[in-house]
A and B are shown apart, each in its own frame.
Chain A
């Protein structure tokens, strides 16, 4: 079977690349094992959160960082395309690359962000809050969001906080199984007429507040329920992130996938690549676990398999390897050098990934595979947490690879 481009990995990176290519008329296949970092989405994408000005922060990154390889000008140009890219899918974000804004984490910590999904709370300042009084609500018995952390953080910034809980027979039903009280399951109950009833209950608990904050537990399949809540709740209504799973993150993943398919892309879920056929420094075709008799041929390939978490690279007792094609990796061979003893120090293993040339083409046995582009967190040379750049690297390197393939 023949495609213009085959993409290995169907998370944020793979889908962004795939969508950009199908929009430009390419015939694309995505092979996805099902893992996606969007499942634990915080509500925000980060470009580089080390400083208020992301472009200034990017200028001081190491030479091996994917942004440094792209160059500042290219980063800026690619970043400018991202908001419209998602808006066309009906995903509206706040923010832009000229200055970071702030988001509040489930623990009440303020972190810098680049783009934040519309329904989440954002802040212009780390310390000055836009409200005098807010209501912080939670679903009764939902343990993956704690009002006490949010209340303590807001009170420390001089905001008066009213904490209240929401209860309903719909939530009680979830409780019949002790493991069901999770954000995605809750969101499955917030549909239809219950949305109106819930809004009414919220209105009863927001007396005198300038805004209401609650965990992101609605809108699993679309934005209709969230829009309806916003419309009915009498004060401004914002989500805060929860512990995983992330309901809006799963929605983004589903919307990206659906859009890709609507545009003619083929998405093979729950499959994984078993081998590749290389010829003359090029990857000619791949085979997959579920279609072992089929050769998927393409002019170009994109590797978007993620880091250790999704097994884009794997560590053994004695080293780190890229498991699909045996590509070269940038990693220390001695495992005692992989870690820092304090969990919160920069962990060296975080920067491990597939080695690429200046054009982000994968290296195998020291030589670039000229039609195999590497994107997202399987790339080496950056620490997504410490540089605050995980989503930015994923999206920008994917758009960049799509451009390279289209010779743009």
Chain B
């Protein structure tokens, strides 16, 4: 007889990971299930913007207030995941400068420290900004690494006793009468099915939660909204740059680690396409056109890749048409809503509010389970966070060690240099050493190259995994003992990389793509390991 959990959480994005941490910290016996890898869905496919909330201040005061509160909390509890860059909302000659005061007033009402500054001062703070700007407002925007943030939540959930299974897909929700009592999961690696029982199931599947809810017999009216972004080959800006107008397409440029990102577009997507998103040439052209208005230098900056994420927008229950769609948090108690006890859905929201979403879901779970413990996730730092800015960015001769401190914060002490090879760099663009790769394999559940990318930034830099992918495959092959599997994984990784590259393949990006094909197909014969899509 398999053991029973208090709560099974479905979905390994930031929300699911945050919920697992919160549940575990409140003493619940917790299991987190993810069908792919952690952060593989919308969590890893957005700007990585630490919103100040200013963007929503005029149109959605409630979201703005949530954002600034969570913004301040994350700076405290997830220091190693955050870059405190600040942000600008700029007014260009074609924009209405009159909007600026409305904007600043709305920010202040929401508790956001927004300060109109002289355009000259804005150029001094951010030399890449469009010099034609006629107005600028400084706000406490920043950058957040969603992969690191999710991983830190998972690490801490584990430290508090939670179990985490990646590559476990929920294929059915198990019910006794109307009550949900567990889930049936498919282990992607062993290809086995098993039933796992729990007192509660929390659906944190984001847009995929629509399907999980269906499995439980509930309807959550979701509207997939696709947002496309472009990643540039170096960090053009140091402050987040936004347009000071009502939110529109491609008006946020966010710096992050070694790169910067422009986004997003927004378009409705049929539900059956959420696993196969394509960034179109029109979307790329629009992102570039608008991005160049924020920072003209983007016109000459190499584009590394294009990608898209899906926002899990939820329509109000009384509005099946989806006209009154909310970007706010939606926490559904399916016992009172649909007569399905034992089932909770947490969705809507955004990366910025993942912790608050987790708090709401865990509060509801605790209430149902009769547990009376307060939420502490706003106060207790995540693993890795207890590092000072000085230590995090301290210079040193060990390139890999320095980069690792930036990425893993105080957890980087776990990256052991066991022998003299461990300092050698696998990924030169991002300074990822053999030791860091092995740490990710041993401690952070990295099972393939894509997992390694999310854990360490391996392959995220200028060359996009040109050579480090093959090196990493070799290390994985050593760790898992199967050469064939690791080469097949390499073929999958390179092909996924191409899917992000081809929509922006001209100039240097196309040169790089051709070089890659010559090396991996011509010299190496990697095409022999391609698993053709059906």
- A residues engaging B (CB < 8 A)? 37, 40, 42, 105-111, 140-141, 143-144, 146, 148-149, 151-152, 172, 175, 178-179, 181, 241, 243-244, 307-311, 314-317, 335-336, 338-339, 341-344, 347, 349-350, 384-385, 390
Residues on A with beta carbons closer than 8 Å to the beta carbon of B518: 37, 40, 309, 384-385, 390
Evaluate contact between B502 and A341: CB separation under 8 angstroms.
Answer: yes
B117 at the interface (CB under 8 A from A): no
- B residues engaging A (CB < 8 A)? 281, 285, 288, 398-400, 420-421, 423-426, 428, 433-434, 467, 470-471, 473-475, 477-478, 483-484, 486-487, 490-491, 494-495, 497-499, 502, 505-507, 510-511, 514-515, 517-519, 521-530, 532-533
Number of A-B contacts (CB under 8 A): 147
Residues on A with beta carbons closer than 8 Å to the beta carbon of B528: 107, 109
Evaluate contact between B519 and A385: CB separation under 8 angstroms.
Answer: no
Evaluate contact between B433 and A178: CB separation under 8 angstroms.
Answer: yes
Residues on A with beta carbons closer than 8 Å to the beta carbon of B434: 141, 143
Chain A: CB-nearest residue to B533: A342
Residues on A with beta carbons closer than 8 Å to the beta carbon of B527: 344
Evaluate contact between B506 and A42: CB separation under 8 angstroms.
Answer: no
**Nearest Cβ distance between residue B428 and chain A, in whole angstroms?**
6
Evaluate contact between A311 and B425: CB separation under 8 angstroms.
Answer: no
Residues on B with beta carbons closer than 8 Å to the beta carbon of A108: 483, 487
Q: How far apart sit A212 and B417, CA to CA, in the bound complex (Å)? A: 32
Evaluate contact between A339 and B505: CB separation under 8 angstroms.
Answer: yes
24 A/B residue pairs, CB under 8 Å, sorted by A = A106-B470, A107-B490, A107-B529, A109-B524, A146-B483, A148-B474, A148-B483, A175-B423, A178-B424, A178-B425, A178-B433, A243-B471, A244-B467, A244-B519, A311-B511, A316-B507, A317-B288, A341-B499, A343-B499, A343-B517, A343-B530, A344-B521, A344-B526, A385-B517
Chain B interface helix/strand/loop/mixed = helix
Residues on B with beta carbons closer than 8 Å to the beta carbon of A175: 420-421, 423-424
Chain A: CB-nearest residue to B504: A317
User: Given the known A-B contacts A105-B524, A342-B495, are A315 and B507 also in contact in the complex, defined by CB atoms under 8 Å?
Assistant: yes
Residues on B with beta carbons closer than 8 Å to the beta carbon of A107: 487, 490, 524-526, 528-529
**Nearest Cβ distance between residue B497 and chain A, in whole angstroms?**
8
Chain B: CB-nearest residue to A143: B471
Residues on B with beta carbons closer than 8 Å to the beta carbon of A106: 470, 523-524
**Nearest Cβ distance between residue A188 and chain B, in whole angstroms?**
17
User: Given the known A-B contacts A108-B483, A149-B487, are A308 and B519 also in contact in the complex, defined by CB atoms under 8 Å?
Assistant: no
In the complex, given contacts A144-B470, A311-B511, what are 20 additional A-B residue pairs having Cβ atoms less than 8 angstroms apart? Answer: A42-B523, A105-B524, A107-B526, A108-B487, A109-B524, A141-B424, A149-B483, A309-B518, A335-B281, A335-B505, A339-B505, A342-B530, A342-B533, A343-B494, A343-B495, A343-B497, A343-B521, A344-B491, A347-B517, A349-B510
**Nearest Cβ distance between residue B509 and chain A, in whole angstroms?**
9
Residues on B with beta carbons closer than 8 Å to the beta carbon of A350: 514, 517
**Nearest Cβ distance between residue A323 and chain B, in whole angstroms?**
11
Task: Specify which of B281, B425, B502, B525 is in contact with A179 (CB 8 Å cutoff).
Answer: B425
Q: How far apart sit A172 and B421, CA to CA, in the bound complex (Å)? A: 9
Evaluate contact between B471 and A144: CB separation under 8 angstroms.
Answer: yes
Task: Specify which of A140, A149, A179, A384 is in contact with B522 (CB 8 Å cutoff).
Answer: A384
**Nearest Cβ distance between residue B201 and chain A, in whole angstroms?**
36
**Nearest Cβ distance between residue A174 and chain B, in whole angstroms?**
9
Evaluate contact between B510 and A143: CB separation under 8 angstroms.
Answer: no
Evaluate contact between A309 and B511: CB separation under 8 angstroms.
Answer: yes
Q: How far apart sit A176 and B123, CA to CA, in the bound complex (Å)? A: 42
Evaluate contact between B529 and A143: CB separation under 8 angstroms.
Answer: no
**Nearest Cβ distance between residue A310 and chain B, in whole angstroms?**
8
Q: How far apart sit A151 and B421, CA to CA, in the bound complex (Å)? A: 22
Evaluate contact between A144 and B506: CB separation under 8 angstroms.
Answer: no
Residues on A with beta carbons closer than 8 Å to the beta carbon of B506: 315-317, 335
Evaluate contact between A390 and B522: CB separation under 8 angstroms.
Answer: yes
Residues on A with beta carbons closer than 8 Å to the beta carbon of B502: 338-339, 341
Q: How far apart sit A244 and B477, CA to CA, in the bound complex (Å)? A: 20
Q: How far apart sit A106 and B523, CA to CA, in the bound complex (Å)? A: 8
Q: How far apart sit A344 and B529, CA to CA, in the bound complex (Å)? A: 10
Residues on B with beta carbons closer than 8 Å to the beta carbon of A172: 420
**Nearest Cβ distance between residue A394 and chain B, in whole angstroms?**
13
**Nearest Cβ distance between residue A13 and chain B, in whole angstroms?**
15
User: Given the known A-B contacts A109-B528, A309-B515, are A343 and B470 also in contact in the complex, defined by CB atoms under 8 Å?
Assistant: no
Task: Specify which of A148, A178, A343 is in contact with B398 (CB 8 Å cutoff).
Answer: A178
Q: How far apart sit A175 and B473, CA to CA, in the bound complex (Å)? A: 21
Residues on B with beta carbons closer than 8 Å to the beta carbon of A341: 499, 502
Evaluate contact between A315 and B510: CB separation under 8 angstroms.
Answer: yes
With a 10 A CB-CB cut-off, give which of A108, A143, A341 has the most chain B CB atoms: A143
**Nearest Cβ distance between residue B351 and chain A, in whole angstroms?**
28
Q: How far apart sit A341 and B421, CA to CA, in the bound complex (Å)? A: 38
Task: Specify which of A149, A152, A317, A385 is in contact with B521 (CB 8 Å cutoff).
Answer: A385
Q: How far apart sit A335 and B478, CA to CA, in the bound complex (Å)? A: 41
Q: How far apart sit A338 and B513, CA to CA, in the bound complex (Å)? A: 12
Residues on B with beta carbons closer than 8 Å to the beta carbon of A244: 467, 519, 523
Chain B: CB-nearest residue to A246: B523
**Nearest Cβ distance between residue B452 and chain A, in whole angstroms?**
14
Evaluate contact between A308 and B471: CB separation under 8 angstroms.
Answer: no
User: Given the known A-B contacts A143-B426, A315-B505, are A385 and B483 also in contact in the complex, defined by CB atoms under 8 Å?
Assistant: no
The 5 A-B pairs with the shortest beta carbon distances in the complex, nearest first, are A109-B525, A343-B498, A152-B483, A146-B474, A143-B471
Q: How far apart sit A148 and B400, CA to CA, in the bound complex (Å)? A: 25
Task: Specify which of A148, A308, A339, A347 is in contact with B478 (CB 8 Å cutoff).
Answer: A148
Q: How far apart sit A150 and B517, CA to CA, in the bound complex (Å)? A: 21
Evaluate contact between A140 and B519: CB separation under 8 angstroms.
Answer: no
Evaluate contact between B423 and A178: CB separation under 8 angstroms.
Answer: yes
Q: How far apart sit A248 and B424, CA to CA, in the bound complex (Å)? A: 24
Residues on A with beta carbons closer than 8 Å to the beta carbon of B491: 344
Chain B: CB-nearest residue to A141: B421
Q: How far apart sit A239 and B141, CA to CA, in the bound complex (Å)? A: 55
Q: How far apart sit A42 and B519, CA to CA, in the bound complex (Å)? A: 9
Task: Specify which of B467, B511, B533 is in contact with A243 (CB 8 Å cutoff).
Answer: B467
Q: How far apart sit A347 and B281, CA to CA, in the bound complex (Å)? A: 17
Q: How far apart sit A385 and B516, CA to CA, in the bound complex (Å)? A: 11
Residues on B with beta carbons closer than 8 Å to the beta carbon of A311: 511
**Nearest Cβ distance between residue A101 and chain B, in whole angstroms?**
15
Q: How far apart sit A40 and B423, CA to CA, in the bound complex (Å)? A: 26
Q: How far apart sit A74 and B494, CA to CA, in the bound complex (Å)? A: 38
Q: How far apart sit A140 and B478, CA to CA, in the bound complex (Å)? A: 14
**Nearest Cβ distance between residue A61 and chain B, in whole angstroms?**
17
Evaluate contact between B514 and A105: CB separation under 8 angstroms.
Answer: no
**Nearest Cβ distance between residue B343 and chain A, in whole angstroms?**
38
Evaluate contact between B532 and A342: CB separation under 8 angstroms.
Answer: yes
Evaluate contact between A149 and B499: CB separation under 8 angstroms.
Answer: no
Residues on A with beta carbons closer than 8 Å to the beta carbon of B470: 106, 144, 243
Chain A: CB-nearest residue to B421: A141
Evaluate contact between B467 and A179: CB separation under 8 angstroms.
Answer: no
Q: How far apart sit A152 and B507, CA to CA, in the bound complex (Å)? A: 38
Chain B: CB-nearest residue to A390: B522
Residues on A with beta carbons closer than 8 Å to the beta carbon of B523: 40, 42, 105-106, 241, 243-244
Q: How far apart sit A106 and B533, CA to CA, in the bound complex (Å)? A: 25
Chain A: CB-nearest residue to B517: A385
**Nearest Cβ distance between residue B482 and chain A, in whole angstroms?**
8
**Nearest Cβ distance between residue B489 and chain A, in whole angstroms?**
12
With a 10 A CB-CB cut-off, give which of A110, A140, A308, A342 has the most chain B CB atoms: A308
With a 10 A CB-CB cut-off, give which of A140, A311, A339 has the most chain B CB atoms: A339
With a 10 A CB-CB cut-off, give which of A141, A144, A338 has the most chain B CB atoms: A141
User: Given the known A-B contacts A146-B477, A342-B495, A342-B530, are A243 and B519 also in contact in the complex, defined by CB atoms under 8 Å?
Assistant: yes
With a 10 A CB-CB cut-off, give which of A144, A175, A310, A385 has the most chain B CB atoms: A385
Residues on B with beta carbons closer than 8 Å to the beta carbon of A144: 467, 470-471
Evaluate contact between A151 and B483: CB separation under 8 angstroms.
Answer: yes
Evaluate contact between A344 and B525: CB separation under 8 angstroms.
Answer: no
**Nearest Cβ distance between residue B518 and chain A, in whole angstroms?**
7
Evaluate contact between A149 and B477: CB separation under 8 angstroms.
Answer: yes
Q: How far apart sit A178 and B423, CA to CA, in the bound complex (Å)? A: 6
Evaluate contact between B514 and A307: CB separation under 8 angstroms.
Answer: yes
